[in-house]
């Protein structure tokens, strides 16, 4: 992450501040000491966010996170010893609903896709501005998944040749299917709301209903089930 990003003057318009009644607990898994400490200090200064724990290795995170689960985990992909991707897979197996966001220097499609397949809810490029990091964490906390369009299409394509044994998407309403289609195209919530002529909060409500009906915990899982539905219709 560019250190200068955190040194910039930030106006109230730039930062996304959660409701004063919400405190999002964030744990960090990052081996770069300077970046890890910068993130700790940054979250300490943000209303509505709290750094619960910070770990230098995947092994340390695996030992402690199940005992002290945060709301959101920021996970570096490239870690010494066990990789961030392997750590995600193990945490996801033990805690399926844990919300994990990958931190990456570059948007390496293959690495990001492997992370999402392992159970991550989304990813952030380390050079993102502070406001975008806060918004992404907030989105994940509320059930979203920061993901670019071409990564979302990779998720869909990975299931194009697979057979579905049960089509759970049949329980979705036409409007819920429209929202799910937007997610499968990598559209952000605001774009889905604009195209469907509904509010952002309504989009979030639809997404929560979609998750409940499809029995999933993340956008990635929902998109995968949508891909299976498309296969069935071919």
Task: Name the band, by pLDDT with cuts 50, 70 and 90, for residue 57.
Answer: very high
Residue 167 has pLDDT above 70, yes or no: no
- Tokens found for residue 21: 């009644």
Are 83 and 7 in the same domain? yes
What is the share, in percent, of the chain residues with pLDDT greater than 70? 79
Are 8 and 29 in the same domain? yes
| Rounded-to-5 percentages of helix, strand, coil across the chain | 50, 10, 40
Q: pLDDT tens across 177-199, in order?
A: 999 989 888 888 889 999 999 99
**Residues contacting residue 93 through CB under 8 Å, at least 6 positions apart:** 119
Higher pLDDT, 187 or 74: 74
CATH at residue 131? 3.40.50.2300
Q: What is the mean pLDDT of the chain?
A: 79
Are 182 and 214 in the same domain? yes
pTM, to two decimals: 0.62
CA distance 7 to 2: 10
pLDDT value of position 175: 92
pLDDT value of position 150: 63
Residue 45 has pLDDT above 50, yes or no: yes
pLDDT value of position 165: 40
Are 95 and 31 in the same domain? yes
Are 217 and 117 in the same domain? no
Residue 7 has pLDDT above 80, yes or no: no
Are 171 and 196 in the same domain? yes
pLDDT value of position 111: 83
| 8 Å CB contact between 102 and 123 | yes
Are 176 and 94 in the same domain? no
Task: Name the band, by pLDDT with cuts 50, 70 and 90, for residue 156.
Answer: low
Q: pLDDT tens across 134-155, in order?
A: 888 888 888 777 766 666 666 6
Are 95 and 175 in the same domain? no
Are 72 and 119 in the same domain? yes
Are 168 and 135 in the same domain? no
Write out the residue range of the structural domain in which residue 198 sits.
Answer: 153-232
CA distance 163 to 156: 13
């Amino acid at each position: 992450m560019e250190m200068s990003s955190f040194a910039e003057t930030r106006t109230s318009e730039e930062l996304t501040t959660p409701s004063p009644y919400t405190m999002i607990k964030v744990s960090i898994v990052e081996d770069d000491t300077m970046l890890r400490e910068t993130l700790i200090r940054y979250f300490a200064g943000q209303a509505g966010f709290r750094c619960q724990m910070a770990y230098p290795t995947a092994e340390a995170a695996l030992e402690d996170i199940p005992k002290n689960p945060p709301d959101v985990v920021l996970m570096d992909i490239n870690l010494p010893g066990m990789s961030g991707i392997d750590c995600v897979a193990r945490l996801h197996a033990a805690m399926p609903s844990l919300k994990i966001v990958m931190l990456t220097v570059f948007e390496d499609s293959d690495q990001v896709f492997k992370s999402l397949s392992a159970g991550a809810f989304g990813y952030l490029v380390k050079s993102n501005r502070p406001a975008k990091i806060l918004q992404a964490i907030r989105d994940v906390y509320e059930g979203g998944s920061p993901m670019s369009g071409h990564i979302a299409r990779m998720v869909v394509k990975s299931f194009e040749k697979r057979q579905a044994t049960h089509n759970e998407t049949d329980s979705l309403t036409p409007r819920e299917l429209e929202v799910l289609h937007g997610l499968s195209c990598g559209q952000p919530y605001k774009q889905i709301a604009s195209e469907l002529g509904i509010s952002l909060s309504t989009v979030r409500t639809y997404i929560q209903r979609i998750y409940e009906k499809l029995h999933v915990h993340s956008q990635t899982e929902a998109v995968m089930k949508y891909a299976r539905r498309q296969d069935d219709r071919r």
